[in-house]
Structure 1
Amino acid sequence: MTRPRRHGDAGQAFPIYITVVGGLLFLALAYFAVGQATVNRSGAQTAADAAALAAAQERRDQLAGQWVKDVLDPAKWQRIFDGSGQALSSPCWRASELASRNYARLLRCQPNGPLSYTVDVETSKSMGKSVVPITERKHSKAHAEAVITGRCEFKPLPVNPGSDALPRLTCKGGKYWDIDPKDLTDLPKPQDLFDVHLAD
């Protein structure tokens, strides 16, 4: 009696093995491509957040500088805290600088009201080579908005001819300033006057 030959079964299993290994390899490369794209998008969002905050912080510093300049004229204080004081230079150069530091370029930077800045950026680097050919030329884009909010309040003093007193400036965190018009050495810093944060 002759035993059946099994060489044919082994030969049939080899192509199946190659197909399965090839499929798994393709899936691994696809997951790698997805990971590359995710990292690239995350980098774009980091750059957008940094750029928006930089623009808002630059505007905060400008407003704080304007407040110091007009500190002896309390009638102008509220307009400065509302962001509607004297015309100031655009802070978008700071947004462009921070986007560049985070390997992105600034596509748009504009005010969204007197105390808010909106930016759009695009990554300098593409998503890289992968099994998906289009990713080699694809750059991630991201959007962010930063908001400036006043930290301080004051009550206007009653009109008193001959008086040069200034209102008490009360700020968050229990800080306050009784400003002496004859000694302006102890004034609040920009971060005492305004908060800067990303919009929700």
Structure 2
Amino acid sequence: MLVRRVGDSGQAFPAYVAAVAGLLFIAFVYFAVGQAASTRNEAQTAADAAALAAAQDAREQLRGRWLEVLADPTQWDQILRGDGYLDGPACQRAADLAGRNGAEVVADGCVRLAEGGDGFEVTVRTTGTIGRSIVPGTESQHVTASAEAVIESDCTFEVPDPPTSPAPTETPTEPGDEEEAPEPTVGITCDGEVWDIDLEDIDPEDPALPDADDLFTVRLTG
């Protein structure tokens, strides 16, 4: 005769249901953690892009200022040290890049670095939320992130001495025997590459002049 133990089967079923429920709960928790991590990564990507964009815009402004005073090397040093750019256009560029990456710059979230060099600190907030999950409140939770980008000069140069008049001589100089004055040029060295700039033949549109990324390096610092 075949005998079945019905009681053992009935006891196993609740345990099976509890195990499945536990596994589903763990899966939902991992999903919620993954959602939050993904949103944090998106926020940090947007902050990095925005900070770099602000610093790059400032770098372009500095090159423009340098081209304006190209014929006067005495003004180069101030510009190559990072003086002469406006925050407004740079921060607008930061806002544009943040928007392209699903975020927005928070109020007063684009500022010059207080210390550590020229550049910007940008703080953004995701326009989207983490989304609904097993964790209460995530459907309305935004994520903020910050990044810093610096502008560093890559160039050195020496301001040429002003030309001096030759000392008068007792012997008159025959026509055509006068020594020609050397052409006023300035050599500017950027990251090991040298440009000789003829101060008497200035052309700001000359494509051979150093670009903004030759003059300055832009990089993230935090």
Q: What TM-score, normalized to structure 1?
A: 0.92
* Equivalent-residue separation in structure 2 for 1:36 and 1:47 (angstroms): 17
Distance 1:49 1:175 in 2: 29
Offset of residue 156 of structure 1: 1.9
Aligned Cα root-mean-square deviation (Å): 1.9
1:1-200 to structure 2, matched below 5 A, reads 6-85=5-84, 88-90=86-88, 91-107=90-106, 108-113=109-114, 115-161=118-164, 165-172=184-191, 174-181=192-199, 182-184=201-203, 185=206, 186-200=208-222
In structure 1, the gaps of 5 or more residues are: none
Residues 70-91 of structure 1: per-residue CA shift (max 9 Å, x gap): 1111111110011124x63521
The answer to whether the 8 A contact 1:72-1:166 is kept is no
Q: Which has the larger radius of gyration?
A: 2
- How many matched pairs? 197
Deviation at 1:115, TM superposition (A): 1.4
Q: 2 CA distance for matches of 1:17 and 1:89?
A: 63
> Unaligned 5+ residue runs, structure 2?
166-180
Q: Which has the higher helix share?
A: 1
Structure 1 runs, 4 residues or longer, greater than 4 Å off: 2-5, 161-164
Letter in 1 for 2:188: L
TM-score (norm 2): 0.83
State percent identity of aligned pairs. 46
SS class of match (1:30):
helix
